[in-house]
């Protein structure tokens, strides 16, 4: 099987922290801009859904989400433009109509549904506790007294806060990007993190000093495409998603990305200072 080599490190990552879109623009208000282009916003810190591929000298956002988006855009007769934001900024950006849709392994929650609309779910995931090998953190109760990382604005942040109401002494540490969280564990600045299995698998393959254990979800799970409230594209996108499910295209992409993608160690990333 062909292995994809992916670097989430170095300069590329540093400049990510300043975050404005690729493609040079101030973020696009699409209305009336280019009617043949759909603008997708993502948080490319989430391999294999969306991340920077820097092998081969380029620097390009790739992944499962990007392939699905490209497929849908093509089916609907559009070009796709991909722009980026921190995860926490994705929903506000949709609310401000700065993109046509968001794909970022995002889970449709009731809270988010107050502000955006979602497609049907296109992929499932479960929460895990990830920690240094030998930590043996297999269930929520084991997090008592531990420093635990989660991504800012993610459902994992909410889930961890719920766990912390039941389990004593958890110190919640929110970080902006998933590779930073991995880095914090490796540097022993946190004891564990809650990250989805679909993403943590690649990170633990690339970092054999880490282990993970699946835990029950505290709420909804899985990924869906988000749109500005009232967007007429929801139905169109669902139609193409249905077609991709029926034809096996979605399975093919899932196989391609979730069994073959191994992110390299994020050790080259700058250490977060938070
Ligand atoms: N599924 C989780 C959520 O919706 C985590 C998604 C994180 N995505 C990312 N691109 N970092 O909150």
Mutate to test the pocket of ligand 1, among 156, 174, 180 (most ligand atoms within 8 A of CB): 156
Do residues 210 and 134 touch, judged by C-beta distance below 8 A?
no
Q: In what order do the strands lie in the sheet with 116-123?
A: 79-84, 37-42, 101-102, 223-228, 116-123
In a domain, 207, yes or no: yes
Which ranges of the chain would DSSP assign to H, the alpha helix? 10-16, 64-75, 90-95, 110-113, 155-166, 178-186, 197-206, 233-247, 249-260
In a domain, 273, yes or no: no
pLDDT, residue 244, reads 98
Are 119 and 132 in a shared domain? no
pLDDT at 14 over 50: no
Are 152 and 203 in a shared domain? yes
Average pLDDT of the chain is 86
Are 70 and 119 in a shared domain? yes
Number of domains in the chain: 2
Q: What is the pLDDT of residues 110-147, one digit of tens each?
A: 999 999 999 999 999 999 999 999 999 999 999 999 99
Does ligand 1 come within 6 angstroms of the Cβ of 155?
yes
pLDDT at 29 over 80: no
Are 111 and 25 in a shared domain? yes
Does ligand 1 come within 6 angstroms of the Cβ of 154?
yes
pLDDT at 261 over 60: no
For the whole model, what pTM was predicted? 0.85
Are 103 and 55 in a shared domain? yes
In a domain, 9, yes or no: no
Rounded to whole angstroms, the Cα distance separating 114 from 134 reads: 41
Strands (E), 1-155: 4-6, 37-42, 45-46, 50-53, 60-62, 79-84, 101-102, 116-123, 127-132, 147-151
pLDDT, residue 262, reads 47
pLDDT, residue 34, reads 59
pLDDT, residue 41, reads 98
Of 161, 186, 215, which residue is a domain's last? 215
Q: What is the pLDDT of residues 59-99, one digit of tens each?
A: 899 999 999 999 999 999 999 999 999 999 999 999 999 99
Does ligand 1 come within 6 angstroms of the Cβ of 237?
no
Q: What is the pLDDT of residues 32-60, one digit of tens each?
A: 445 799 999 999 999 999 999 988 888 89
Domain span at residue 201?
Answer: 127-215
Mutate to test the pocket of ligand 1, among 50, 51, 105 (most ligand atoms within 8 A of CB): 105
Average pLDDT over residues 5-28: 36
pLDDT, residue 272, reads 34
């Amino acid at each position: 099987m062909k292995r994809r080599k992916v670097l989430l490190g170095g300069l590329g990552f540093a400049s990510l922290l300043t975050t404005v879109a690729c493609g040079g623009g101030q973020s696009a208000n699409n209305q009336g801009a280019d009617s043949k282009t759909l603008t997708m916003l993502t948080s490319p810190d989430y391999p294999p859904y969306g991340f920077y591929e820097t092998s081969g000298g380029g620097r390009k956002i790739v992944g499962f989400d990007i392939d699905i988006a490209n497929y849908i855009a093509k089916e609907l007769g559009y070009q796709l433009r991909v722009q980026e934001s921190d995860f926490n900024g994705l929903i506000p950006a949709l609310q401000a109509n700065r993109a046509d849709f968001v794909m970022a392994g995002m889970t449709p929650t009731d809270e988010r549904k107050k502000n955006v609309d979602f497609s049907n779910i296109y992929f499932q995931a479960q929460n895990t506790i990830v920690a240094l090998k030998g930590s043996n953190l297999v269930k929520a109760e084991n997090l008592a007294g531990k420093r635990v990382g989660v991504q800012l604005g993610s459902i994992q942040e909410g889930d961890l806060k719920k766990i912390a109401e039941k389990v004593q002494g958890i110190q919640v540490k929110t970080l902006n990007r998933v590779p930073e969280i991995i880095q914090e564990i490796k540097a022993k600045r946190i004891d564990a993190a809650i990250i989805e299995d679909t993403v943590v698998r690649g990170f633990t393959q690339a970092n054999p000093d880490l282990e993970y254990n699946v835990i029950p979800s505290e709420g909804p799970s899985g990924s869906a495409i988000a749109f500005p409230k009232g967007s007429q594209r929801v139905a169109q996108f669902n139609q193409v998603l249905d077609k991709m499910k029926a034809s096996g295209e979605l399975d093919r992409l899932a196989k391609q990305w979730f069994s073959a993608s191994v992110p390299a160690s994020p050790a080259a990333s700058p250490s977060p200072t938070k």
